[in-house]
Amino acid sequence: VSIHYTPTYSSWLNQVENWFARIQRDVITRGVFTSTRDLDKKLMRYIRQYNKQAAPLKWKYSDPARRIRCNSSGSMD
C-alpha cells in the first residue's frame, strides 16, 4: 500500500470526479447487469468507446476572484 498526499484543492481531482460521474450516469444508472463479469464487460466497452472520441478538457475560471493564489512565501492568500 502506498499513501500519497493529495491536497483537497487539487484541480486534477475535479477531472477524476467528472470521470466517475460520467460512468455513473452513462453506464451504471442506466444499466442492467446479470453478473459482475457483465458489468466489467460493459464498463470496458464504454471506456474503449470513450477513448476513441476523447478530447482534451478546456478548463477556465468564470470568476477570477475565486482563484487560489500563493504569495511570495508560498502560503495561500
**pLDDT tens readout for residues 22-38:** 999 999 998 999 999 99
Residue 64 pLDDT = 67
Spacing of C-alpha 19 from chain mean position = 4
Residues 42 and 31 sit within 8 Å (Cβ to Cβ): yes
Pick from 70, 30, 27, 21: which is nearest to 46 by CA?
A: 27
Residue 8 pLDDT = 67
Regions of the chain short of the pLDDT cut 50:
none
CB under 8 Å to 68, separation ≥6 — which residues?
A: 9, 76
